[in-house]
Chains A and B, each alone.
Chain A
Amino acid sequence: MNIEEYISSGVLEAYALGELSPQEMAEVNEHLLKYPALREELKRIEETQEELLMKAAIQPPVSGKAKLFKTIESTGTVRALPLPDNGKTIRWKYAVAASVVLAMVASYFAFDYRGRWLASEENLSELIAQNQQIARDYNNVHNRLEKIESDLQISNDPSFERIVLKGTAAAPDAMASVFWNAETQEVYLSIRNLKSLARENQYQLWAIVDGKPVDAGVFDVSGTNGLLAMKTIRGASAFAVTIEPRGGRTSPTLETMQVIGEVVG
């Protein structure tokens, strides 16, 4: 290698200024070990640079020094430990220890938070279910209230005639009422006491119009509340209920008649 040429390229100045890449620096370091003339030249460059920058010094704020030593003291326990030679390994061990601790702490939190998350998930679905139940209950109550209100309106309405149907010999304890509006022909049935029937049977309401039975609709006892709206009837003189096969019949089975009542007015 031509040392003069190498020096005059300015590579040593760049080295002294810290301008070289790690690879370039390694290369210069290698040459420095080999050639004393390069070391001499570098030393002169460094001294010039140092001298120049010392002359161009700017005094930093006075508080800086105390601050620096405070920082060094406060982290002293860790920094005091490593000896220059094995500093790297100790630092490395600390890093490993720190990351293990960090991992443990992190997994604890992950576990803990997962638990909390599951618990809150459970609470949430329970609350949603409760909420739905309350909404259903509210709707039921609301519907029942509306039904009661409209039933009350019908039973209090003077244009409805109330016909009490009393038990026949076949069912002496049976009892029901019909609310009939002769003008609008609306018919409502109120069950007071009728026995429950087998699944294949149903009650059927009849109106006696001009001496003949007219179908006024079938009904079940179980699951009914308040007034049942029946078929419209014109000019009835009496109402009666019989037990018929499910779906009803065109003419009543008289032997199964449960209740009967005449229209007074």
Chain B
Amino acid sequence: MSENELVSRLKSRDRRALEYLYDHYSGAIYGVINRIVRTESASEEVLQDVFLRIWDRMHDYDPNKGRLFTWMLRIARNQAIDKTRSKELMNERKSKDLDNFVDSTDSATFVEQKTESIGVAEILNDLSAEQKFVVEYLYFKGYSQSELAEEFNIPLGTVKTRLRLAMKELRSLIKVV
């Protein structure tokens, strides 16, 4: 199904289109959520909320402003971040951080564990250390650009340009793989 067709069927509230969307994207979206909220039960909850929101807000989606996945990603990140701000999860996450402290300090291991995928770690290893760092933190560790800038004392503009370069590099790497 082309993206245009998928979008128009979703907008006319075709449930089979939603099923297709779920089958196709729930893994990627769940990955995004899970790397931000970190616990399985909370990730499941957020995933439900995200797909319900996509279904309810389909009329808000404007294809001129970007791809469907980009729009979904935005919703997922926002919902996941909202979830981490809820108090119960903060506590859960804190204790988990202590448990996983050793693992998460080794970022290569962390990404490998979290992605469960063939190739992502290898692809990232082909990036320069600086570029790998921003991609890891922004895409796989649930950091926002401003959090990253603040925590590692990097100017926000630098974070943005580094990501820019990393994405440009990844573009060719992914096409090759």
Chain A interfacial positions (CB closer than 8 Å to B)? 7-19, 29, 32-33, 42-61, 64-65, 67-69, 71-72, 79-80, 84-85, 87-88
The answer, among B15, B26, B67, B117, for a CB contact under 8 Å with A43, is B67
CA distance A68 to B120 in the complex (A): 29
B25 → chain A, closest Cβ, in Å?
8
CB-CB under 8 A from B116, the residues of chain A are 58
CA distance A68 to B77 in the complex (A): 19
A167 → chain B, closest Cβ, in Å?
95
Given the contacts A56-B117, A57-B117, A8 and B164 also touching, CB distance less than 8 Å: yes
Q: Is the CB of B13 within 8 A of A80?
A: yes
Q: Is the CB of A72 within 8 A of B157?
A: no
Given the contacts A8-B161, A68-B52, A29 and B65 also touching, CB distance less than 8 Å: yes
B73 → chain A, closest Cβ, in Å?
6
The answer, among A19, A45, A58, for a CB contact under 8 Å with B31, is A58
CB-CB under 8 A from B23, the residues of chain A are 65
* Seed contacts A53-B32, A60-B43, A65-B23; 13 additional CB < 8 Å A-B pairs: A9-B157, A13-B163, A14-B160, A14-B163, A18-B78, A29-B65, A43-B67, A52-B123, A56-B117, A57-B30, A64-B48, A71-B48, A72-B52
B146 → chain A, closest Cβ, in Å?
8
CA distance A79 to B23 in the complex (A): 22
The answer, among A13, A29, A56, A67, for a CB contact under 8 Å with B48, is A67
CB-CB under 8 A from B145, the residues of chain A are 14, 17, 19
Residue B90, interface by CB 8 Å: no
CB-CB under 8 A from B59, the residues of chain A are 84-85, 87-88
CA distance A85 to B13 in the complex (A): 12
CA distance A47 to B161 in the complex (A): 18
